[in-house]
């Protein structure tokens, strides 16, 4: 258990060590998924399952002019396929087309489809006799293992619910890898049943500002329930959860969620950024209002891929969000920007500083 109030901010880069796709790879997958070539007036979709979900949605909104809606959704899908690789991410591309509802919907279906597919293909996914589980031998070098050891250090089985005391996760990814890992790690370490592990993780402070591709079975659900990696016999999971995703073009309508996240950052004694991209809107979501920061916060950051100049720019922003107003700032003491450390090594190198 951590002794300090801690916020871990999770970005796309954190999925690298378990095989989840980062921005460019995800964009390539979405470009392939959304391509629907038309030859001699015949559709030849790259991905028939995605294409059928798109048609199914078109039928629900175009009962009067069905053929027109199908053609328009195909157009929207092909627009994504052609243009996405010239944007930083699918979210950036959707932002360009924020006035086109069809592009936004097609993008959300494609995102959901590819995230569920990625869950099924990542190092956390294993299946035997219909049961999905984590093979921890495959995750020995991941930051998930390092983090879980830090969280449960000194926790007795009878106090299992204290594992996540003082901890808040703000996860900007759509996947449920964190929840899936925590559930199965609790079962393995504390020899508890799945219902108990689900209960503990459901009570943990885990927030997805932009939504998630459904809730895992057995957890407290505030939306659609979908198995990790999607259902074996339900090709429409991605369509069903697509409305639960929010791109950063859209406003997060849940003001209470925004307030809870900002308060977590305000109260935190330390903030850890793992694989985070520092997009301006995402930083705005996290940054407390002026004057709300009353003490210095230790900040630990993975900066792999950031240039020296960009890392300096990011660091200055982090200094502002983690320092009292008008404070005399010694940047070397409380913001650690590590451009050579991945997520697991950051947590390992600063293990004692983070725990105590």
In angstroms, the CA 200 to CA 208 distance is: 17
From the list 117, 197, 122, 115, the residue with the least C-alpha distance to 152 is 197
Pick the CATH number of 1-20+132-211+246-356 from 3.40.50.970, 3.40.50.1220, 3.40.50.300, 3.30.700.30: 3.40.50.1220
* Coil, strand or helix at 133: strand
- Number of neighbouring beta carbons within 10 Å of residue 248: 20
Confidence grade of residue 64 (pLDDT, cut at 50, 70, 90): low
Q: Which of 240-254, 283-297, 310-324 has the lowest mean pLDDT?
A: 240-254
Confidence grade of residue 22 (pLDDT, cut at 50, 70, 90): confident
Confidence grade of residue 172 (pLDDT, cut at 50, 70, 90): very high
Q: Are 53 and 43 in contact (CB under 8 A)?
A: no
The better pLDDT of the pair 329, 141 is held by 141
Q: Which helix (H) or strand (E) holds 316?
A: helix 308-321
Instruction: List the chain domain ranges.
Output: 1-20+132-211+246-356, 23-121
* Coil, strand or helix at 135: coil
From the list 8, 344, 3, the residue with the least C-alpha distance to 168 is 8
Residues 6+ apart with CB under 8 A from 123: 17, 18, 19, 138, 139, 142
From the list 141, 138, 139, 143, the residue with the least C-alpha distance to 351 is 143
pLDDT at 16: 95
Q: What average pLDDT does range 92-102 have in this prediction?
A: 93
Q: Which of 179-188, 200-209, 284-293 has the lowest mean pLDDT?
A: 284-293
């Amino acid at each position: 258990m951590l002794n300090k109030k801690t916020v871990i901010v999770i970005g796309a880069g954190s999925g690298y060590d378990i095989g989840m796709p980062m921005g460019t790879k995800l964009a390539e997958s979405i470009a392939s998924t959304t391509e629907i070539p038309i030859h001699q007036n015949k559709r030849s979709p790259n991905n028939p399952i995605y294409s059928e979900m798109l048609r199914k949605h078109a039928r629900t909104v175009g009962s009067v002019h069905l053929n027109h809606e199908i053609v328009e959704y195909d157009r929207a899908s092909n627009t994504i396929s052609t243009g996405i690789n010239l944007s930083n991410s699918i979210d950036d591309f959707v932002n360009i087309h924020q006035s086109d509802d069809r592009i936004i919907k097609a993008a959300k279906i494609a995102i959901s489809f590819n995230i569920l597919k990625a869950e099924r293909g990542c190092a956390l996914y294993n299946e035997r006799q219909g049961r999905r589980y984590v093979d921890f031998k495959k995750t020995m070098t991941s930051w998930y293992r390092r983090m879980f050891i830090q969280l449960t250090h000194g926790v007795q089985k009878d106090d299992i619910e204290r594992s996540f005391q003082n901890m808040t996760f703000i996860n900007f990814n759509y996947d449920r890898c964190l929840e899936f890992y925590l559930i199965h790690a609790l079962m393995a370490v504390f020899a508890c049943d799945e219902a108990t592990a689900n209960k503990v993780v459901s009570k943990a402070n885990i927030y997805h500002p932009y939504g998630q591709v459904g809730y895992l079975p057995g957890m407290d659900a505030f939306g659609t329930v979908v198995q990790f990696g999607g259902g074996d016999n339900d090709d429409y999971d991605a369509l069903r959860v697509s409305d639960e995703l929010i791109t950063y073009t859209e406003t997060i309508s849940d003001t209470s969620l925004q307030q809870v996240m900002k308060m977590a950052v305000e109260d935190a004694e330390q903030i850890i950024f793992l694989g985070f991209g520092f997009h301006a809107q995402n930083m705005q979501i996290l940054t407390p209002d002026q004057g709300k920061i009353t003490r210095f916060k230790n900040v630990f950051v993975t900066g792999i891929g950031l240039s020296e100049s960009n890392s300096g720019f990011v660091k200055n922003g982090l200094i502002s969000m983690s320092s009292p107003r008008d404070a005399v700032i010694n940047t070397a003491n409380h913001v650690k920007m590590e451009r050579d450390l991945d997520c697991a090594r950051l947590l390992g190198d600063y293990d004692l500083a983070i725990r105590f």
